[in-house]
Amino acid sequence: MHDIIYMVTVMNYLLYGLETFLLEKEIDKIIAKHKLERLNIVRYDYTVDSLIKILEDCETLPFFSDKKGIIVDNATFFNRGKGSDMEINQLLNYLKKDNPTTILIFLNHNMSVDNTKKITKAIKELGVLKEVGSANIQNEILKMFDGYKIDHFTINLFHERVGSDLALLQTEANKLKLYCIEEKTISKEDVIQLTSINIDTDIFKFIDHIIQKEKDLAMKIYREMIKQGEEPIKIIALLASKFRLMYQATELMRSGYSQQDISSTLGVHIYPVKLAIQSGLKYNNKLLLKYLERLADLDIAIKTGEIEPILGLELFILNI
């Protein structure tokens, strides 16, 4: 998707997408474009702060500066069925007569917004509506290691171990760069020594291999988990919890819930919710339930002594 060229006259923005890291980078572009000072930027969360309170702040003048920024996180009212009519009407009125000294940025952590809603149409007409799409992970990782020597094998190893969460990748990349700051060269040994394997990412890869009947790849991850000291019973419980999360999260998303709503409803941190949705949307929910039932049967068989845990999970993988 082509970058939008922000005009100085544009004061109101709606950015949406699943990658928090990319949304934050887009905010940085807007801040730079409008030459906003960090001290004059206020951040709100719509799950905590009322829109009325936020709009009152939008109307006030900035201190010791020409402009100020207001960032509103988790702006779920751009999705179907969200937000009170009174708040939305007040926002519509504000957009028609906005404060020229306030840069207002809404963030929506979803794959899409409801383009049929009056408020979405208004932000599109009176401001900027932008989808911040999924990143090319390999390109983003290369940017993170700019100025350092790192080969493609090591990049792939880094991605495989850490996962696809860009914020986490950036944190781990910074750790490697600091360690290798003198040589400016990052080796596979450095990656293995310094980075942590992201078990959430690994477990969803494991699930993908199981569902896609890639037995060799599934067994490879399983044996690595056993080598790292993971107990088969714990792996079964983890698999079941992730299958359940995939099922619940995708059902809620299809019902119009935002990622933040799903996180709050299920009491699960937003990052595993995001991973569960990304994996779960690839499969039919009846298939996810089928695997949940098979794991429940395996759990009972192990706990009643019908089968030994390591063998039981191996047979579960081999008979998929």
Read off the pLDDT of residues 120-130 as tens digits, 9 standing for 90 and up.
999 999 999 99
237 Cβ neighbours under 8 A, 6+ residues apart: 299
**Does residue 227 form part of some domain?**
yes
Instruction: For Cα atoms 78, 82, 85, give the angle at the middle one, nearest 5 degrees.
Output: 95
- Alpha-carbon distance 83 to 108, whole Å? 13
Residue 16 lies in a domain: yes
Q: Region 182-199: what's the mean pLDDT?
A: 88
Contact 19, 110 (CB under 8 A): no
pLDDT band at 9 (very low <50, low <70, confident <90, very high): low
**Does residue 196 contact residue 228 with C-beta atoms inside 8 Å?**
no
Of all residues in the chain, the percent with pLDDT exceeding 90 is: 53
**Per-residue pLDDT at 202 exceeds 80:** no
Percent of the chain whose pLDDT exceeds 70: 94
Q: What are the backbone angles phi and psi of residue 58, rounded to the nearest 5°?
A: -60, -30
Average pLDDT over residues 186-194: 94
**Confidence class of residue 135 from pLDDT cuts 50, 70 and 90?**
low
Amino acid at residue number 103: I
Sheet containing 12-16: give its strands across: 41-45, 68-73, 102-108, 12-16, 128-131
**pLDDT given for residue 200 in this prediction:** 63
At residue 301's C-alpha, the angle toward residues 296 and 302, to 5°, is: 100
Q: What is the mean pLDDT of residues 3-28?
A: 78
Does residue 25 surpass a pLDDT of 80? yes
**Whether the predicted pLDDT of 320 surpasses 80:** no
Residues 45 and 149 in one domain: no
Distance CA 197, CA 158 (A): 9
pLDDT, tens only, 280-312: 888 989 999 999 999 999 999 999 999 999 899
Whether 156 and 88 map to the same domain: the answer is no
pLDDT band at 47 (very low <50, low <70, confident <90, very high): confident
253-274 pLDDT per residue, tens: 888 888 878 887 888 877 788 8
**Average pLDDT score over residue span 210-230:** 85
Answer yes or no: is pLDDT of 72 > 80: yes
Structural domains counted in the chain: 3
Average pLDDT, the chain: 88
Range of the domain at 89: 12-131
Question: Does residue 176 register a pLDDT over 90?
Answer: yes
Report how far residue 110's alpha carbon sits from residue 16's, in angstroms, rounded to the nearest whole number.
Answer: 6
Of 157, 178, 194, the last residue of a domain is 194
- What mean pLDDT comes out for the span 70-74? 94
Is the pLDDT at 2 greater than 80, yes or no? no
Structural domain contains residue 3: no
Query: Residue 6 — very low, low, confident or very high, per pLDDT cuts 50/70/90?
Result: very low
Q: Does 302 lie in the same domain as 277?
A: yes
- Asked which of 131, 157, 174 is the last residue of a domain, the reply is 131
Q: What is the pLDDT of residue 8?
A: 42
pLDDT band at 5 (very low <50, low <70, confident <90, very high): very low
Mean pLDDT value of segment 109-113: 83
CATH number of the domain to which 103 belongs: 3.40.50.300
The confidence band for 230, taking pLDDT boundaries of 50, 70 and 90, is confident
State residue 103's pLDDT score: 96
Are 39 and 94 part of one and the same domain? yes
Among 171, 194, 217, give the residue marking a domain's end: 194
Per-residue HEC secondary structure of the chain comes to: CCCCCCCCCCCEEEEECCCHHHHHHHHHHHHHHCCCCHHHEEEEECCCCCHHHHHHHHHCCCCCCCCEEEEEECCHHHCCCCCCHHHHHHHHHHHHCCCCCEEEEEEECCCCCCCCCHHHHHHHHHCEEEECCCCCHHHHHHHHCCCCECCHHHHHHHHHHHCCCHHHHHHHHHHHHHHCCCCCECCHHHHHHHCCCCHHHHHHHHHHHHHCCCHHHHHHHHHHHHHCCCCHHHHHHHHHHHHHHHHHHHHHHHCCCCHHHHHHHHCCCHHHHHHHHHHHCCCCHHHHHHHHHHHHHHHHHHHCCCCCHHHHHHHHHHCC
Same domain, 18 and 105: yes
Calpha distance 39→176 (Å, rounded):
31
